[in-house]
């Protein structure tokens, strides 16, 4: 099995984790609602060799808490809370996108190289 996306979203007093991936039998997705403990499986899709290009090597990316801290530092410490984060393969490179909000509840989005934690444009 290979992972293509991991994401977290805080909304409506709960947290949702989503994981997408694939294996020889096809593409699969799982959603976990932290508040209820409910796990929902998405509709499976047939395997396609092009899926291989979107795979993330989980052993080479930073743990989420490290990426979040690196992204927070990039905000100039104006972020007051986290809205979401995700890691996906973009153009052959794993990228974390972390969205915070500031004191006025305006979104602040930071993209990082998922291997190094360095900001990307």
- The pLDDT score that the predictor gives to residue 26 is 95
Domain tally for the chain?
1
Classify residue 121: in a domain, yes or no: no
CB 110 within 8 Å of CB 74:
yes
Q: Which domain holds residue 11?
A: 2-113
- The pLDDT score that the predictor gives to residue 34 is 94
- The pLDDT score that the predictor gives to residue 12 is 80
Give the integer Cα–Cα distance in Å for 72 and 69. Answer: 5
- Would the pTM of this model clear 0.85, i.e. be above it? yes
Strand partners, 56: 3
Classify residue 64: in a domain, yes or no: yes
Q: Going from the first residue of the chain to its last (121 residues), give the mean pLDDT of each consecutive group of 10, the final group possibly shorter.
A: 96 92 96 96 94 94 97 93 96 96 95 97 79
Classify residue 98: in a domain, yes or no: yes
- Coil, strand, or helix at residue 113? strand
List the one residue out of 15, 5, 4, 13 whose CA is nearest residue 84.
15
Classify residue 57: in a domain, yes or no: yes
Classify residue 118: in a domain, yes or no: no
13's tokens: 């007093």
For 27-93, the DSSP string reads EEEEEEETTT--EEEPPPB---GGGGGG-B-GGGSPPHHHHHHHHHHHTTT---EEEEEEEEEETTE
């Amino acid at each position: 099995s290979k992972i293509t996306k991991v994401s977290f979203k805080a909304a409506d007093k709960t947290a949702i984790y989503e994981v997408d991936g694939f294996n020889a039998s096809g593409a699969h997705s799982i959603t976990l609602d932290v508040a209820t403990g409910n796990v929902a499986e998405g509709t499976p899709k047939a395997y396609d060799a092009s899926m291989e290009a979107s795979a993330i090597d989980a052993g080479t990316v930073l743990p989420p808490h490290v990426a979040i801290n690196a992204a927070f530092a990039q905000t100039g410490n104006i972020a007051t809370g986290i809205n979401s984060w995700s890691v996906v393969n973009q153009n052959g490179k794993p990228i974390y996108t972390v969205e915070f909000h500031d004191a006025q509840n305006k979104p602040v989005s930071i993209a990082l190289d998922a291997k190094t934690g360095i900001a990307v444009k």
